[in-house]
Amino acid sequence: MDIINKMYRLKFMLSIFIMVLVVYGCVTPVIEDPQDVQEDDITRVTPDSAGVPVWTVGERWEYSDGYALEVESVSKEDGTLRGDHEPYPPENTLTRFKVTLPGESSMEFREDSWIVCKGFFKVESNFSGEHRKNVFVSEKPDQLFPLSVGKSVTYDREFLRNGKLIKHRSSWQVIDYQPKVTISNHDYGCWILEWQTDSLQSDWSGHETWWYCPEINNYARMEYRYGENETSSRVLIKYSHPNKHDQ
């Protein structure tokens, strides 16, 4: 019993001695390091995918070269107008855009300049009297969605250009995703998309690189080259949405 009491007293005295050393700075107490902060916790998360855009009547995009688009109507495939909150697959929706071409007034639209898209992809257009309309597509190009890096789709398409049949082989590819692209003092998360089309009847080809931003349902920047023309580009300078503030 005396031995046990002596052991307790010894432990007590030892504890007092250590406390004194700590108080006077002779011994530094050991504190466990906090868990390391993972890099993913402090950096912006890159989205894994993006779906087919859903456009709204009144949305408008204005670009640096004078080109502008504005959504005129959104309808179903049978032509009936689609309600703002009516559920319907966006890839089967027809959206008609009024177009201002470079060199025209940015506040006025020519009645003969317009585009119709089915989902994301153009199916009909009319620019200054040149009318184009798809009549055959071998693969559904909306297979490109949801977007993910490395994804691609290739398809043959036939369209009428003022009544003459034209045949092209086209492709889209998702090259990259950039979480922060500064355009006109705004930061956007952009998917880098490349479009290539080659005539099956001549040596004509066209190429576009899009910095596509789901936040604005369109490209924030585009580089393009058609035929033997030099590469050009256009940059978004204003985006407006009927339900949001102008950007």
Q: Please write the tens of the pLDDT for every residue from 67-89.
A: 999 999 999 876 676 665 666 67
CB-side neighbour CA atoms (13 Å) of 92: 7
Q: Is residue 34 part of a domain?
A: no
Q: Is residue 179 part of a domain?
A: yes
Number of domains in the chain: 1
> Do 214 and 197 form a contact (C-beta atoms < 8 A)?
no
Q: Is residue 2 part of a domain?
A: no
Q: Is residue 198 part of a domain?
A: yes
Question: Torsion angle, CA of 50/191/96/169, rounded to 10 degrees?
Answer: -100
Q: What is the pLDDT of residues 92-127, one digit of tens each?
A: 899 999 999 988 755 555 568 999 999 999 999 999
Contacts (Cβ under 8 Å, ≥6 apart) of 212: 147, 190, 191, 192, 193, 218, 219, 220
Q: Is residue 199 part of a domain?
A: yes
Q: What CATH number is given to the structural domain containing 70? A: 2.40.360
Q: What is the pLDDT of residues 230-247, one digit of tens each?
A: 999 999 999 999 987 655
